[in-house]
Amino acid sequence: MTATLIDGKAFAAGLRTRIGTAVAALKTQGITPGLAVVLVGEDPASEVYIRSKGRMTREVGMNSFEHRLPADTPQADLLALIDRLNADPAVNGILVQLPLPRHMDEAAVINAIDPAKDVDGFHILNVGRLATGQKAMVPCTPLGCLMLLRDQLGSLSGKNALVIGRSNIVGKPMAQLLLRDSATVTVAHSRTANLRDLCRQADIVVAAVGRARFVQGDWIKPGAVVIDVGINRTDDGLVGDVDFVSASQFAGAITPVPGGVGPMTIACLLANTLTATARANGLPDPQGLTP
Ligand SMILES: Nc1nc(=O)c2c([nH]1)NC[C@@H]1CN(c3ccc(C(=O)N[C@@H](CCC(=O)O)C(=O)O)cc3)C=[N+]21
């Protein structure tokens, strides 16, 4: 079998077009969504990411505010900036780029963001809301994966889903979203025994382990949908956590890297900024952008 390619880049472009239309409608009411991105220190990979985020934010008609702080910024200064952004009515979404320099307490910084502006969905209140089925801001990467899975499968109800990776950013919120859609969810990680056998049972595989080409083709149940969250820079360029060539022989559908989940993450960041703006103005949630 040769898998269908899931074109995340095209799906994300369609999503951004719909977001742009909704932003234009808000502007006629005098509302322009604003996204603030905070980058502490310099990291070449983050630079590329932050630039494409800024460009796409402006392309959909939103205001983009960038704040760059030196790597040795005291945590108190970052917290003071977050306070100002929390209080600024022109800012509807705040993203503090992770990882932060080692001298900072990541949880303290994230939890200083107004949960209503937490477009990453990392604030403890949003994590708890997602886990209990309340209206939350949902982390961008898992939200993008959910959109691709629903588009591919229609209903996820009763499907066996395997999430490989247990991070707060991807694995755990992904598991919550799959559960909410009535999938039967297994979360695997570095200590999981018989990962290969578990994987062979899965109708849905979401790989977010951070190890290049970790998931092998013969682990994949024939016809399964495989979502590759990995972004690994190797000598042969950017590769995912799935061995794409061999997995394509078994999967029913699979996301490529690049061009799969990555562009969906940025589109969902804009979707969350739009949702946050609507909620801040007492408007209903825009259609199709929230789980
Ligand atoms: N608070 C926070 N939120 C984040 O969402 C966050 C973060 N910090 N820190 C860094 C990671 C990384 N990340 C990516 C998003 C999109 C692509 C992306 O669009 N990648 C393209 C390829 C880009 C390339 O060629 O380098 C693709 O997969 O097709 C990559 C990486 C979000 N992150």
Could you read off the pLDDT of 154-166 as tens digits, one per residue? Answer: 999 999 999 999 9
Q: Is 31 annotated as a binding residue?
A: no
C-alpha span between 198 and 20 (Å, rounded)? 41
Q: Is 24 left (phi over 0), alpha (psi -120 to 50) or beta?
A: alpha
- The kind and range of the H/E element at 195 are helix 195-200
Would you list the domain boundaries of the chain? 29-116, 140-261
Q: Which residues in 160-176 are b (16+ Cβ under 10 Å) and which e?
A: bbbbbbbbebbbbbbbb
List the catalytic residue out of 117, 118, 120, 221: 120
Residues linked to residue 5 through DSSP beta bridges, in sequence order: 254
259 Cα nearest atom in ligand 1:
29
Q: What average pLDDT does range 41-53 have in this prediction?
A: 85
**Residue 1 pLDDT more than 80?**
no
**Is 266 a pocket residue for ligand 1 (Cβ < 6 Å)?**
yes
Angle, helices 140-153 vs 261-280, to 10°: value is 110
Using only C-alpha atoms, the chain has a radius of gyration, in whole angstroms, of 19
Q: Is 84 annotated as a binding residue?
A: no
C-alpha span between 276 and 271 (Å, rounded)? 9
29-116 shares its CATH topology with 140-261: yes
Q: What average pLDDT does range 173-198 have in this prediction?
A: 97
**Residue 183 pLDDT more than 70?**
yes
Both tokens assigned to 139 = 């982390």
How far apart are the two ends of the chain, measured CA to CA in Å? 31
**Is 73 a pocket residue for ligand 1 (Cβ < 6 Å)?**
no
Q: Is 166 annotated as a binding residue?
A: yes
Q: Whose CA is nearest to atom 14 of ligand 1?
A: 262
Q: Whose CA is nearest to atom 19 of ligand 1?
A: 262
ipTM above 0.90, yes or no: yes
3-state SS, residue 22: helix
Q: Whose CA is nearest to atom 10 of ligand 1?
A: 98
Taking the whole predicted model, whether its pTM rises above 0.90 is answered as yes
Q: What average pLDDT does range 96-125 have in this prediction?
A: 98
Q: Which residues in 121-139 are b (16+ Cβ under 10 Å) and which e?
A: bbbebbbebbeeeeebbbb
Query: How many Å separate Cα 273 from the centre of its chain?
Result: 13
C-alpha span between 237 and 207 (Å, rounded)? 19
Phi, psi dihedral angles at 240 (to 5 degrees): -90, -170
**Residue 195 pLDDT more than 90?**
yes
**Is 263 a pocket residue for ligand 1 (Cβ < 6 Å)?**
yes
Percent of the chain past pLDDT 70, that is, above it, reads: 100
Q: Is 97 marked active-site?
A: yes
Neighbours of 281 (CB within 10 A): 13
Percent of the chain past pLDDT 90, that is, above it, reads: 95
C-alpha span between 34 and 282 (Å, rounded)? 16
**What confidence tens digit (pLDDT) does each residue in 229-285 have?**
999 999 989 999 999 999 999 999 999 999 999 999 999 999 999 999 999 999 999
Q: How far is the CA of 95 from the centre of ligand 1 (A)?
A: 13
**Is 108 a pocket residue for ligand 1 (Cβ < 6 Å)?**
no
3-state SS, residue 206: strand
**What confidence tens digit (pLDDT) does each residue in 77-99 have?**
999 999 999 999 999 999 999 99
Phi, psi dihedral angles at 160 (to 5 degrees): -85, 115
Pick the CATH number of 29-116 from 3.40.50.10860, 3.40.50.150, 3.20.20.70, 3.65.10.10: 3.40.50.10860
Q: How far is the CA of 282 from the centre of ligand 1 (A)?
A: 31
CATH class of 140-261: alpha beta
User: How confident is the model at residue 53, as a pLDDT?
Assistant: 95
Both tokens assigned to 258 = 């690049």
List the catalytic residue out of 43, 88, 97, 216: 97
Q: How far is the CA of 177 from the centre of ligand 1 (A)?
A: 20
Q: Is 88 marked active-site?
A: no
